[in-house]
Structure 1
Amino acid sequence: MKLLKMCSTTVIKGEKASKSTEEDAEANFRIYGIISYFVVLVVIGLPIWWYTTRVYRATLPLVQMQDVELKNTQNDYGMPLSLEYDILVSFVHPDPFNPTIDLRGVEIEEHLRPFLDKISPVSDFIVKSQWLFLLDLGVTPSKTEQYLVLKEEQLPHIITPLESKLWSHISPRPTINLVLYFARCDDLPLYIFGSDDKKVESNAFLSARWGGFYIINADKTSCEKGVFKPDVNAVTSTFITHIQRLFKIDNITDTDNIYELKMRKATEMVDSTKRTLKSLAGLLSEIKSIVISDDVGNKIRVAVENADLAQKFLAQGDVDEGLKFAKIAFSHSERAFSDPSLLSLLYFPEDQKYAVYIPLFLPIMIPVIMSLSTLRKWIMVRKKKID
């Protein structure tokens, strides 16, 4: 009997030990499952999610971009700053057969080219021409015994309807419009009168940041013959005067004026570069979702470096070297600021990113985080057993 009792007791103890071992194995399995989920979701998943959804930004000299002093510059009357300009010569003839005009656009370009070559170190100029027929002024001149009179207050109303007919808006470069208007032969000669009610001798006017408008009247003999050959020298001389005023040049034949033009344009380019870079730095600080690719970052670094070099040479009076580096800085800053890649993530800010991903991660993370208490208890039990 005693032997049977001892055997049964041993069997019960063996079963308890076996159950305890199975429970420990099952508990270990659950703990290892919790640890694996935690590692996959938190240790591996969150860093990968953060890395793959982050906004890439190349290293930028932000301190140099922000710590610049900007000058108060005004360029209300001149043309927009650019390294290239289109010069669009438009011949406007309301009555193309009365008279026929003997003039080609290439003649105007040939006469303009020597002047443009002198100021070409500052910018490049591409001369184009077009003819517009059967197009009236858009305003009604007043009539006197001798003339048809365009008053000064009527001049802005000439440009507005004409603007839609010009194809200058399709060019990526700023355009200098030079319009030559041929008055009708069957009317009195057409002249511009100023605010003092006196005839403007040049019979032309200038519009700020747009270009010039020149009215030419055919002589009586040409009207009778039906063919009019304008004085190309007079036309180009008027257009050159317009360009000089737009670029604020007094006398292009004077070496000092050329030097002053180079110095002024180089300084404007350096100031524009600094203003663009500072605006870009402020934009990047406010909007964190803007991507800065390596290409854009390289353009910004080149702009910063060349702006400093240009400023250094201009301070030394070396205007040619200063202008060379200023053009490089200006070009790279404009290309960096207008790069399309800056808008690639502009409309997916941080709050929207969290709004998309939190509903995905939160239901999975809550059980994992709550199971950490079970992991803590298991660690405490293991620690007691070891002790």
Structure 2
Amino acid sequence: MAAAGTAEEKLRGKYSANCITVMVILAGLPLWWKTTETYRAALPYTQISELDFLLLDISVPVEVVFARGTLTAEQQKKLLPQTQFSQKVNQLDDKTGFKYRYEKTYRAATGIEQDALMGENVEGAVDTLSRVYESPAGSVVIYVVAADSQLLPQEFTVYIGKHRAVFLRSPVTGSHSAEDVLQDIDDSVEEILQTVSFTDDMVVAALSSRVPSGTFGTDTFTDSMTAFKSSLGRQNAQLLLGIPRVQPPPETLVQNPGNMIVTDWETDRLLWVRTVENIGTATNTLTSLAQLLDEIGNIVINDNIASEVYSAVASVQRSLDELEAGRLLPAFQAGKEAITSSERAFFDPSLLHLLYFPDDQKFAIYIPLFLPMCVPIMLSLLKTAKNLRWRRKVD
């Protein structure tokens, strides 16, 4: 009787141990895993990695309008109207570069434009043309007037208006071939565009968050402060707004903007710089965030952060598309949304809501807790396995 009771008690102990083991494996471990796992919403890692390689494509719409008398009938027949593209590529490093493209449309002046260009008051022509034709942000209209035109002061060959109209005294003569006409005109047009749109240095400086240029040192800061203290009115406003200062080429006259303080084309220059800067900073922030989340696998990524990241990626792509299409204002708006969303995601307080320990430290905490329970279970499983092996041998 005693032997039977002991055997029954051993059997009951084995069943109990096996039941506890099964419960721990089937219920305890999944429950522990579920309650300790970190919630991480899905993020567009593939798109972010693509943005890590950035090649900006900037398009500037340019109209070159020839007034009556600047071309011979034969020259005009061969040249007008037509559209040409010129572009330049700058690769700053293995991940960042930019190219800009001038989309130049050559055409003859309309009747209204011709009436404005026939006068002798260039400021009046600027006002008339700005009322008749409203040029979109980022675009430039260059009016080519006859070499003996009274519209421009005699000592100047270029007059830059306060809006987006530029007047160029024609370097073309009747003996020019069609190819020579465009060559001479394009040389002057390129020089004008470097003044009223943007320069390579401006774009490089705007991308300094991705490719540090190291050009802004103490000397530059001292010069800026000196300029701020010594200049007045309009120059102070330009400095405060961050508008790059312009040094016009020789024989170029820039119209005083008067009550505008800042001209339309100066505003465009600021928008070009800020758009490129926002794209560069937003892509840099997104790639840094993706790298951080990849390195620390147990940081919580809630739905709000994921939404901001998706919004930032979409806004960056939209800004790039608008830049390529030559639509400056939509590109600027999208770039502003991109940097806002990316910084909201990067600086979201929930990323630091918990203390994030390395895995080896977590194991150091959990092992002392689970080891006392795991040892009896493992011994019981080993003993059960031995008994099963013994029974098979006996049978």
TM-score (norm 2): 0.49
For the pair shown, the structure with the greater C-alpha radius of gyration is 1
TM-score (norm 1): 0.50
